[in-house]
Structures are given as C-alpha cells and as structure tokens.
C-alpha cells in the first residue's frame, strides 16, 4: 500500500488575511527568501498544494459525494430536506455554509498554487542541473493543480473571478470582478498545455523517486480532454472544442502509456486500500491517516465509503451512514445487465447489521428476505417489495467490509482512508468516443473501438478482441451513438461523482430529474415521495451553484448566477 505523504502543516506558516475567500488563509505561504532553495524544499511545498484536495470542501466530501448526488442514477436517503438532505435535494440557498466552504477552499488552493509558482519562478534560475530537472516537473504539477481547481470552480459556479497571482488576492474585495467563463477556460487550457509539454508519462518518469498519486503527462492530457468536452457543452456551447477534445484524447489513447485494468473489480480493491496503479488511475486523491485526531489539519482523511458506501451498523468502524441511495429504475433500465459484470458490482442490495437468526452484529443481511433487487425492479412486483428497495439500495464500490484490509481500515464512524478517483482512463476513452461522434456528427471506427474497449472489460472480456456479446452494432446514427455513450458513462462511472456534471454539460439536467421522477412513479406509486430533488430543481438555476451570499455582499461588482437572484 502506498500512502501519499502531506508535509503541509509541518513546513508552512499560515498568514492571516481578512478580506474575503478570494484571499484565503494559505498554508503554503512562507518567507520566500528563506525557503525553496533546492528541489527537495520545493517538492515539500508542492505537496501542500496537493493537500488541498483532501479538504471537505473539495474532494474530502463536497465535490466527490455531496454536491454530486442528485441525478438520474442516485439520490439522498430519506424523503425530506431535513439536515444533511438539504443540499442533495437542491433545496439550499445562496447562504448555505457548505457552498461558501467549497468556494473558499478552491480559492485557497488556487492561492497556494499561485504562491508556489511565483516562488519557484524566482528560485529555479539559481538551481543546478540536479535540482532544475525535478523542479521543472514540480512547476508543471503546480500548474496542473491550479487548472484542476479552476476547472472545479468554473463548472460548479460558472461566473468566477480569475486570480492569476498572489498580489491580486490581497486587493480590496470591491475591486474583484467576474471573468468571462471563456477566459477561465483559456487559462486552464494554457496551464494544462504547459504541463503536457513538461511532464513525463508516469511509466517514463525517471526523475521523481515516487510519482504515486501525482500528476503526469497522461493525467494532464486526460484532464484537458475533459475540460474541452465541458467547454463544448452547457453553458458555453463552443462546439469547436469537440475537435480539440478528440485530438487531445487521441494523443493519450495512442501513446500506449495507459490501459484499462483487466478486472473492473480490481479498481475498488485498489482504491479502498490506497494502492496506486498508474495504468488506469490518472488523477486520484490519496487519503490516509493511521488514526483520527479530530483536528482536520492533521487528518487527511475523507468520507469515502462512509457517506457513499454500504449502510452498516455493528462493524469494525462503528457504522457507515451510507447516505447515497441508488435509484432502482436506473438498475432496471441498465441495458444488457445480465452480461454486464459492472451491474452487480455497482450496487448493494444488502446492508450490514444484526442477524435475526444468530444475533451476530456487523454481518451482511438482506434488505428484504422475500425478494431481491431483481424481483423488486419488475413492473409487476408487489408495492411492499418495491418500497423496501426504493430507499435502501446503496453503492457497493466502496464497501468497507468487502474491500478494505485491516492495514488500511480506519476506526471511525465518519472518516476513512479510502481514495477517490477523479479521472480514470476509462473516462477518457468514453470522452474520446463522445468527442469523435460530436465532432464528426456520427461515430467513427476509433469511436467504436474506444467505447467497446470499456464495454468489453465491463462484460469480463479481453478488451482488445472484438466480441459480439459486448460490442455495439456498427452503422449507428449520430443520435443513437450519442445515447449509447451517455448510457455507458452512467454504467462505467456509476456513483463516482461524474453524472450530475455530465447531465449539466449535455444541457439536460432538469429534464433528466423530471424524467427520473416520472419513471419512479410509473414503477412504484409512492416513488415521487422518495425523490425530493424533483420538487426543488429548476431549469436555468440548478445547473450552477449560487455565488455564496457572503461573497456577493462584499464583492460589490459581482452578479449572482441566474435563478439565484
């Protein structure tokens, strides 16, 4: 097991700031004249820029499994907006604390990246060749991180301030203006193109002693492909970017430096145990702490498997809340599910608790002994059986009791050491297929090959060998292939935090929520009561988060996002 080491709080001195979250407390801010005198010191500070990823407001909670819940494949547990259900029901306002936290955390991370880049630019000219080579890679890593943080800002909030240096951060809030989102995308593009030119592929990296969970050329190429695909969609709709997405993904695909793992389930065995495999994992957040101190600065842990895992009581780590719920009609409508191994590995029609037979606690028990999920999703199943499954099926991918070894098991009711995939090679293959179809207005041979590789692995077949059991039929129309890609993204990436943003960039988020609500009602008469987000999701509003109200109050030139005014 490889654990990413964060040095941030042992090396950095925090500075105090007072204006707004565009000028956040920085934990990489140090006396620049006294540090980063060599590549090793620079790397230590760079790890502080990485550490922002584990914050609750970024991938520790909000951007991995909290803001991402309401979609056509998942919902939050329960039938109200009480407490933790407010945000996953889209029932929050611009004053919601979690929204402000994510905004602040992202700008703090960008400040740290800007600070590192500026300092290294001052220092690197004095480095000898031994120090210069790794430092050049660290510069590219920092620009990747800055691009990632800005990508999250612009796709979640839309109209954001573009802060490109630390001096800007310390200006008075009244001077801040919102950039055209196109300019933010151009800035992200420039950072990633720089990184692509200066980073090695993970397999070819002979300079960093350990590149586990670190950015590589493959990661930068994959992220830029995703940036272009998002840029091409809602709300900018610059369809010329489909060509850029296809050409960028093609470089990665044809490099031969990354590939799909042979076994889909191995992905979850790896990420649940902190095992880095650069073949498919392009960007992955590493969470690890031997124990929980209760001080977030010392606990680089996440909530993966606790919040979005299988509901559990009486287990080694006390309990798993398991607040994500899988929408049964998604499982019902999963095409070719009988042959697709991913179907049974993606959801849990069980939980952990006390056995009524033996009295043993923390054991796997059925949700309903009178029928399984296959029985329940039938249209003519009894309402009592349907009701037992509509609010009790959880994602299985991060099942702590099934996958997490004792060496990586964190004894805590709310936190875990399970990692989080931000970008997998399978995601890029599907983006490649999608981009080719959109660019050419119909599927190409390369598009078929990319999507079929993902499907073959999902069906448990060799990825390089044509197989009629898994492969899409040739001769599909533009629209049919588009639908196939969109379905495939739901199957391959189920519950991994991508679906909501996919629906948004496709311009169908509101429509998908409405259709899902109708599907549930058609399947089970009481279905609408367990899909609360349909009552609060509005067209041309919930595609973006609101600008936090506290920012609106002090950044007087800001305009609130549509629907939130």
* Band (10; pLDDT cuts 50, 70, 90): very low
Residue 299, pLDDT above cutoff 90: no
Judge whether 438 and 239 are in contact, CB under 8 Å. yes
Dist CA 5 CA 288 (whole Å): 8
User: What are the DSSP calls for 180-249, one per residue?
Assistant: PHHHHHHHHHHHHHHHHHHPPPGGG--SSS--TT---HHHHHHHHHHHHHHHTSTTT--TTHHHHHHHHH
pLDDT band at 488 (very low <50, low <70, confident <90, very high): very high
The pLDDT value recorded for residue 430 is 99
**pLDDT computed for residue 3 by the predictor:** 55
pLDDT for the residue 296: 63
Percent of the chain with pLDDT over 90: 89
Q: What mean pLDDT do residues 285-293 have?
A: 86
| Model pLDDT for residues 110-164, shown as the tens digit of each residue | 999 999 999 999 999 999 999 999 999 999 999 999 999 999 999 999 999 999 9
Mean per-residue pLDDT for 485-502?
98
Whole-number average pLDDT of the chain: 93
24-38, 152-166, 244-258: which range is least confident on average? 24-38
Answer whether residue 16 shows pLDDT above 50.
no
Q: What is the mean pLDDT of residues 515-530?
A: 94
Model pLDDT, residue 13: 28
Give the pLDDT mean for 77-82.
Answer: 94
Confidence of residue 297 (pLDDT cuts 50, 70, 90): low
Query: With 60 as the cut, is the pLDDT of residue 5 above it?
Result: no
Q: What pLDDT does residue 9 have?
A: 31
Of the candidate ranges 29-43, 193-207, 507-521, the one whose mean pLDDT is the lowest: 29-43
Q: Quote the pLDDT of residue 20.
A: 54
Supply the pLDDT for residue 261: 98
What would the mean pLDDT of 235-244 be, rounded to a whole number? 98
Residue 27 is classified by DSSP as S
Concatenating the DSSP letter of every residue in 299-363 gives ---B-TTTTSS--EEEETTEEE---EEE-HHHHHT-TTTTT-HHHHHHEESEEEE--TTT--SSE
pLDDT exceeds cutoff 90 at 466:
yes
* Secondary structure (3-state) at 503: helix
What pLDDT shows up at residue 11?
Answer: 29
Three-state SS for 212-229 is CCCCCHHHHHHHHHHHHH
The answer to whether residue 17 scores a pLDDT higher than 80 is: no
**Would you state the pLDDT for residue 29?**
52
**How far apart are alpha carbons 187 and 189 in whole angstroms?**
5
Report the share of the chain in percent with pLDDT over 70: 94
pLDDT at 528: 83
Cα–Cα distance measured from residue 239 to residue 229, given in angstroms and rounded to the nearest whole number = 9
Q: 78: how many CB neighbours lie within 10 A of its CB?
A: 17
Which residues, other chains included, contact 459 with Cβ-Cβ below 8 Å and sequence gap of 6+? Answer: 336, 339, 340, 341, 467, 469, 470
Between 400 and 29, where is the model more confident?
400
- Both tokens of 554, joined, read 């002090």
Q: Give the per-residue pLDDT at 292.
A: 78
Q: Is the pLDDT of residue 293 over 80?
A: no
Mean local confidence (pLDDT), 494-517: 98
């Amino acid at each position: 097991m490889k654990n990413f080491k964060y040095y941030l709080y042992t090396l950095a001195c925090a500075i105090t700031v007072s204006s707004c979250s565009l000028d956040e407390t920085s934990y990489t801010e140090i006396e620049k004249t006294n540090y980063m005198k060599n590549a090793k010191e620079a790397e230590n500070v760079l790890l502080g820029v990485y550490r922002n990823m584990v914050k609750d407001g970024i991938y520790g909670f909000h951007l991995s499994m909290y803001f991402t819940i309401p979609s056509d494949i998942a919902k939050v547990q329960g039938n109200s907006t009480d407490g933790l259900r407010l945000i996953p029901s889209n029932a929050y306002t611009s004053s919601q604390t979690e929204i402000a936290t994510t905004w602040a955390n992202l700008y703090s991370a960008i400040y740290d990246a800007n600070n590192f880049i500026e300092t290294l630019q001052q220092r690197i000219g004095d480095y000898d060749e031994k120090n210069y080579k790794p430092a050049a890679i660290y510069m590219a890593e920092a620009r990747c991180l800055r691009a990632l943080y800005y990508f999250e800002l612009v796709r979640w909030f839309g109209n954001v301030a573009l802060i490109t240096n630390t001096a800007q951060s310390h200006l008075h809030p009244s001077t801040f203006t919102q950039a055209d989102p196109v300019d933010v995308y151009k800035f992200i593009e420039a950072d990633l193109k720089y990184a692509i030119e200066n980073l090695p592929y993970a397999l070819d990296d002979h300079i960093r002693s350990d590149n586990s969970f670190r950015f590589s050329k493959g990661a930068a190429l994959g992220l830029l492909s995703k940036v272009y695909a998002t840029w091409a969609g809602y709300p900018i709709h610059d369809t010329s970017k489909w060509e850029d997405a296809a050409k960028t993904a093609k470089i990665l695909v044809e490099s031969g430096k990354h590939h799909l793992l042979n076994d889909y389930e191995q992905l979850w065995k790896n990420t649940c145990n902190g095992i880095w495999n650069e073949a498919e994992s392009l960007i992955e957040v590493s969470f690890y702490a031997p124990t929980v101190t209760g001080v977030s600065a010392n606990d680089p842990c996440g909530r993966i498997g606790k919040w979005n895992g299988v509901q559990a009581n009486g287990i080694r780590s006390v309990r798993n809340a398991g607040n994500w719920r899988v929408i049964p009609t998604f499982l019902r409508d999963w095409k070719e599910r009988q042959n697709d191994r991913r179907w049974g590995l993606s959801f849990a029609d069980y939980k952990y608790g006390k056995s009524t037979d033996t009295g043993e606690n923390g054991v796997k028990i059925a949700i309903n002994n009178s029928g399984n999920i296959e029985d329940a999703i039938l249209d003519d199943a009894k309402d009592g059986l349907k009701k037992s499954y509509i609010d009790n099926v959880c994602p299985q991918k991060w099942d702590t009791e099934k996958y997490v070894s004792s060496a990586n098991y964190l004894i805590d009711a709310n936190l875990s050491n399970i990692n989080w995939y931000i970008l997998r090679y399978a995601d890029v293959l599907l983006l490649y297929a999608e981009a080719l179809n959109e660019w050419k207005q119909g599927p190409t041979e390369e598009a078929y090959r990319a999507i079929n590789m993902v499907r073959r692995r999902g069906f448990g077949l060799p990825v390089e060998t044509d197989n009629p059991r898994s492969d899409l039929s040739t001769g599909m129309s533009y629209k049919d292939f588009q639908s196939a890609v969109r379905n495939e993204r739901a199957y391959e990436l189920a519950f991994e935090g991508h679906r909501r943003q996919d629906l948004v960039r496709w311009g169908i988020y509101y429509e998908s929520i409405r259709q899902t609500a109708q599907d549930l009602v058609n399947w089970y008469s009481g279905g609408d009561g367990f899909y609360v987000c349909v009552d609060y999701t509005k067209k041309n509003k919930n595609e973006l988060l609101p600008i936090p109200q506290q920012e609106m109050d002090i950044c007087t030139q800001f305009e609130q996002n549509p629907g939130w005014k």
